[in-house]
Structure 1
Amino acid sequence: MTELRIEGLSKAYGPDAPNVLDGLDLTVPGGALAAVLGPSGCGKTTLLRIIAGFLRADAGSVTVGGRVLTGPGVHLPPERRRIGIVPQEGALFPHLSVERNVAFGLTGLDRTARRRRTETMLDLVGLAGYGERMPHELSGGQQQRISLARALAPQPALVLLDEPFNALDSALRAGVRADVRSALRLSGATAVLVTHDQQEALSTADLVAVVRDGCVVQCDTPQQVYQRPADPWVAGFVGDAVLLPATADNGKAVTALGTIPLMRGEGPATGTVLLRPEQLQLTDAVSAAAGGTVTDVRYFGHDAMVTVAVDGLDEPVDVRAVGPLAVQPGQRTGIRVRGEALLHA
């Protein structure tokens, strides 16, 4: 297994242009899948291209398995980096069969070894027996899995996935993500997935690195990033967030929704409390500590998002409700908070 270590990476597109990457640091343990998540323009694609060797960094270093790929006076060309790339939409060679696509990067092997390795890779991605087919005979999801097989076939030190599920419809995307994740784990490869899809990052990766303005503002497990975001911006970016003004009092936050225990016990005297919509529960309007008027209901089948204009708050809050809905827009409702909250200054 090979660790990816990025230190102080900076890049600007011109002498007077602002930095796209600004001293970015990131470490991905060997064998882990890390998702680099951020809004458009934050530097995700630039980071991927520097790791792959397609761009030169202005400063900083990229090391894979202790081998320096980019650093002061060092810039290995892409073909010497032992990095596999899974681009958007597969990008298979249309004139080559599936077998020949997968075997494309297998140089230095005899025909028998190439065929054996190709068959192993097709089996790994769940497409054994598809070797004679042409790319146009495959579905979009199958093409992405073949692209992964092609990237893994030369046994690279690192695999880069550049928003590889964007072109797939929503019904297919989750299944292909699960297949790709399983194949990467079975291969033991270290991988970096670049995405702007929060659900994709949280459900697929071992680590999530949230990038803002060219820097990693938080890198942790999906659960930690979601439950303990570094600041209110991260909280709102990685999922639906309920942000409330609050004051701290003896390890609790006093808010318009009542008094809520704090995760860390202590915090700033005043600040912004973070809750998730699933922590809020609709209750009887008379007995609840807080209440308001329902302004909108969005039904998704497995749950619904209910927007409530809360008494004493300038902004409405969203409540994720599970089960039969007993409220409609215009009705009064109570709100109860479950669990603990984070308080940010």
Structure 2
Amino acid sequence: MDELLDSASSVERNQIVGVTKFEVVFDSAPGTAIKKIYANGRMQARVVVCISCHDSGGKEFRPTPEILETLKLIEYLGGADLGSPWSVSKEPNKYRHEMSGTGVRVRRDIGEFDDKVVRIERWVSCEQLDEKRIGAAITLPNGRTVKSNNSSPGGSDSYITLEAIAPVQYGHENFRLTKVEEFSGTERSIYRWYLGLYIGGAKLPLTGWFSPGFDSNKGAKIYCNPWRSGTWELPQYIVCLIAEYYHKGIVVFLPKDSVDRSGRVLQNYVIDVNDRPGEVSLVQGFSGWGDRSVPALTDPFAITVLDDFGTGHSFEIVTNPSSFELELK
């Protein structure tokens, strides 16, 4: 609930019989009545509802928290609750909320509003192409529901328009894999890779990723050739791991021979990841020793990365069987 509720005037709930001000606005420049968001189910627009109430004598009050709990966003045309394909949240998510600029949320000055008015914010997203006029509704203590789609004299008539447009999609040719050496030796080597999205030379930050059926809680490994059968060429063991956005480091296990040459043992290395904001971190390890006890995992890794607007872009990460370089397809 909006922080302004803490300073709301104390008033008996049953004293309030009507609404004095009921306005639905955006958070940007005054007078903005229409905005566009991407229809990806993640990008949100901030909608602000401004409300004040009055008692039977016409005295204006700030609405009580109980009244504000009844607030809903509605379809201006018809008055139905705003529903699918639209979603409403009380909290903003991590994605950019503006089509242009830095994406920083610029809030309108509280001083623009009367101190009897409470401002409540809602965050609206859409999963498919659509355009909607959006109003609001609240229920008063007497059971009367007031909606902002009443254009008759004395009624509340206020709405904003949201247009959900097609998200911009980028092919794998717009993504760049950058390789950085962690350390390189005859028997074991480790490299860090960074996956970024670049448009016209400028980086569009990535905010996360997912892969169908992949559970990062069970490990970060997306590729492993544990024993290059039929060859004595180095490396014998190749592994690749991917970092979740919250990871600070990834542990890479590489096989080596035991001191008495009786069998394989694993040497672990902790590698820092996510040190380049807006990019996905991967770690690739090589060993001159194979390990037949480790299952092979050599299929392409299907991944969907999310850009700063919350739009998903899907492709595959593969390990070249000859050069062992990571590639996108």
> TM-score if structure 2 supplies the norm length?
0.22
Larger radius of gyration between Structure 1 and Structure 2: 2
Q: Which has the higher strand share?
A: 2
Q: Which has the higher helix share?
A: 1
> TM-score if structure 1 supplies the norm length?
0.21
